[in-house]
Amino acid sequence: MRSATLWSRPVTAVRPAAARTSRPASRTACRTAPTGAPYAEAVIDLAAIAHNTEVLAAHARGALLAVVKADGFGHGAVPVARTALAAGASWLGVTSVREALELRAAGITAPVLSWLHLPDEDFAPALRAGIDLSVSSPEHLAAIAACAERTGVTARVHLKVDTGLRRGGVVPADWPALTVRARDLERAGLLAVRGLWSHLVDADRPGRHTAAQVREFEQAVRCARQAGLRPELRHLANSAACLSAPQTHYELVRAGLGVYGIEPVPGRDHGLRPAMTLRARAATARPVAAGEGVSYGHEYTAPADGTLLLVPVGFADGVPRAAGGRARMWVAGSRRPVAGRIAMDQCVLDAGAAEVGIGEEVLVFGPGDRGEPTAAEWAQWAGTNPHEVLTGIGARVTRRYLPAAARTARPAEQNEHQNRNRNQGNEGERCA
């Protein structure tokens, strides 16, 4: 049973008057937020997206493809796509045809590559919308060609070879026959093989597998050329390789995580800026006494008298439950511990001796400028990667966009297909 002392404390005086300190005006203002203001929001800094795109484009030896799958890593695919294209990207990459068509429906006409499909999918909408499609098996090649024949629209495809990831892509044993078949379908007018590509195993740790994958990829390119294919694009590099492994660049570089401001190479700082800030307003503020347990299972015990804030975001909103017991949030000018388990819709923050109240701004994560945690730190606390943290921020969390500075869109042809003949390889070598 709770002590009578706890419940008798005035709600509006969660700390003794003698212990209070002056409050900055900005924190006071957050208590008086306009009626109807969202209880939680993800603030997306499009200027950061633009900056990161420019950094990546400056490193890339070829054109830059901005990956906007999973609703732009939770940031919003359409605003991110428009910002990235204005800042130097000339291609966009998505997982599904549905994602690609959403970009087209928003009026985006830049080249888009979609790479994860089932062979029984209806590719007709993609062909009519001018979406490039990845081919990962003989079955996919046959299905796309059949759709092209039915619709009368030549399919633009990128053939993906598995160079060691063993996840997606044509297995090496099938590659020679597939490239021959692709050339036959080109001659028939059903396909245009626009690219050859693969996916790196661990480009954030240069030297472990990257060199071997480059050799496998170049052998696959030679094999395709022996079959008569002359694709204009080769692409292998991701964000980490864009910044650290120039030998993987070729004519196109695919950047995902880096666009959103997460440094992809551990221990290196390339000046990228996190674009998402997750913030919430405290739903309740209540006193807690030293030694009292908090939240499910009382796994957290208050170390001292203080104030608990109820933060109205939980694992249904993308705040990782696995981070409970380690996570921190920023409130009233300092990092404070999440008290106990993170629940589906809410979590509790131990604000300690700070004078805080209902409506208090809580920063779950952000760029770190004020000392708040970053998405990368949340990933460490949860034992996952930043991709999962960013893409997990759910639809219940309102998105608000801070505009990028005005930029003049750079035409795709300004930086597309740079150094097209780089690393052409020996076309006379036989397929392996």
Write the burial class of residue 310 (CB in 10 Å: 0-12 exposed, 13-18 middle, 19+ buried): middle
First-residue to last-residue Cα distance in the chain: 75
Residue of 107 and 206 predicted with greater confidence: 107
pLDDT for 36: 66
Helix H or strand E segment including 193: strand 191-197
pLDDT for 204: 76
pLDDT for 206: 65
What is the four-CA torsion angle of 5, 11, 14, 18, rounded to 10 degrees?
A: -90
| Mean pLDDT, residues 378-383 taken together | 97
pLDDT for 37: 77
**pLDDT tens per residue across span 29-74:** 334 445 567 899 999 999 999 999 999 999 999 999 999 999 999 9
Alpha-carbon Rg for the chain, nearest whole angstrom, is 26
* Buried b or exposed e, range 402-419, using 16+ CB within 10 angstroms: eebeeeeeeebeebbebe
pLDDT for 261: 98
Active site residues: 69, 296
Q: How many helices (H) and strands (E) does the chain have?
A: 14, 19
| Mean pLDDT, residues 404-419 taken together | 46
Check the annotation: does 167 bind a ligand.
Answer: yes
Has residue 196 got a pLDDT over 80?
yes
Give me the domains of the chain, ranges plus CATH numbers: 22-43+275-402 (2.40.37.10), 60-260 (3.20.20.10)
The chain-wide mean pLDDT, for the chain, equals 88
| Mean pLDDT, residues 114-128 taken together | 97
Check the annotation: does 399 bind a ligand.
Answer: no
Q: Which residue's entry shows tokens 């959403």?
A: 102
